A = this chain, B = another copy of it.
Amino acid sequence: MSPSQATPLYRAAPLYRAASDRADAAAAVLAQLEGVFGERITKNAHIREQHGRGEGLRDLASPDLVAFPLTTEEVALAVKACAAHGLPIIPFGVGTSLEGHVSAPYGGLTLDLSRMTKILSVNEEDLDCRVEAGVTRLQLNAHLRDKGLFFPIDPGADATLGGMVSTRASGTNAVRYGTMREITLGLTVVTPSGEIVTTGGRARKSSAGYDLTRLYCGAEGTLGVITEVQLRLFGIPETIAAATCQYPDVDSAVRTVIAALQSGIPMARIELADEATLEGFITYSKLTDLEPKATLFLEFHGGPLAVDEQVAQLREISDLNGGGEFRFAQREEDRSRLWKARHDAYYAGMAMNPGMEAMVTDACVPISRLAAAISDCQALARSSGLSAPIVGHVGDGNFHMLVMFDPKDEVARAKAEALAQSVSATAQRHGGTCTGEHGIGLHKLDALVREHGEGVAVMRAVKAALDPQGLMNPGKTIPMS
């Protein structure tokens, strides 16, 4: 996909007075940083292009430079150089964002933090840890396993913790353990002027001043560069039981979820996949004991008695809503296979639709509106004529539609784009949000305005105050005009 094919939804901001200003700024920053970064700063076209897009596929805009800092101090140096020369800064983890967050529509210096992978401390007594922003969730969990601890937030991709903070990520465990918003205790952030700020702390709660941790969490790199993250951890539960249960239709499955939550069953995971997604799971992930029907993927955590009790309670609710039998994944490897299949929904969708690309939507509604919202979105998909399987973290009211389209067909691409936008609007009409966990990026600026109205002016004032030059990841998250 070439840049000219992209559908840029961001607002133009007058960052440069003349085209040559950008090249001059990049050259000046390179000259200033080469001494410190050596080969870790580059203007190699291939590397720049790799950093110009995430998994969102719709956007490709290369930065002018890419640097690979190893420390917070190097990040601060790089930011100061950019601030001095008026060059944009784009923080980059491993590029798994789906909404164009890492694209560089105004050029600039991409700071690739993927070499900042130190796990700085793990406090077993306090169930917390501090990591550099480039640590990924799988790296962290591999490190924790021997200690009997785990980090629960699991977006499908093996994202970096810095990136996950920045998009307020969540995943399948959020219904029980919260999202990055709840689980992030503190941060180290390099501000747009290159100052190093430490937010939050190690105490479980604090009422000391404005909640800067939560301000940076979800700011998508537009207010500063996150370089360290303090996180809550959890003990691996004594008993874990995972199961699937199939339903005659999506509505029956969703009604089961609503009743389970209202009954206060402390589900660890409660995930929905629709008929079309199941076809992918069966074929691509070889879950051959399942039929292509609406399915809940379930997990229960607790003491052995508590888990038995939860299973019995949920089974009763499920039976009332037409659910089939519970198929348990008894061994750990079966459980891993189950959740890998769930996380591979994107790849399964791609495999089932050869030659197609997937535009991944993300919406979240109050639980009571979930069945209606999904039904409306399925109707929209049908009338668009596109294949669009649905999966969802339904315990949170969060669902994704994988809108499949032929990338060579401009009409299909436009239809896919329109359908994705309609999913946002549908969720909002049902009292929900245009994004539960993927963020605004370049694609949902209009949806943000529709959702937050006057609140966007407050966001804009915060952005202007903390980043007066407008250099931090420009064009994303907050429409500036």
Chain A contacts to B: CB under 8 angstroms: 123-128, 167-170, 174, 178-179, 181-182, 191, 195-199, 201-212, 214-215, 217-219, 223, 234-235, 237-238, 258, 261-264, 266, 302-306, 308-310, 313, 362, 364-368, 396-398, 427, 431-440, 444, 447-448, 451-459, 461-466, 477-478
Contacts and interface: CB of A to CB of B under 8 A. Distances in A.
Given A125-B367, A452-B199, A457-B195, A206 B262 contact: no
A471 to B, nearest CB: 16
Given A191-B458, A235-B264, 8 more contacts: A197-B454, A203-B397, A207-B440, A208-B447, A210-B223, A210-B462, A212-B459, A235-B263
Contacts of A438: 207
Contact of A203 (B169, B219, B431): B431
Nearest to A210: B459
Contact of A210 (B204, B266, B304, B478): B478
A463 B466 CA distance: 11
A212 to B, nearest CB: 6
Given A208-B444, A215-B214, A126 B306 contact: no
A258 B125 contact: yes
B205 A211 contact: no
A305 B309 CA distance: 7
B201 A453 contact: no
Contacts of A397: 203-204
Contact of A432 (B202, B209, B263): B202
B207 A211 contact: no
Contacts of A364: 203-206
Given A168-B211, A262-B124, A199 B462 contact: no
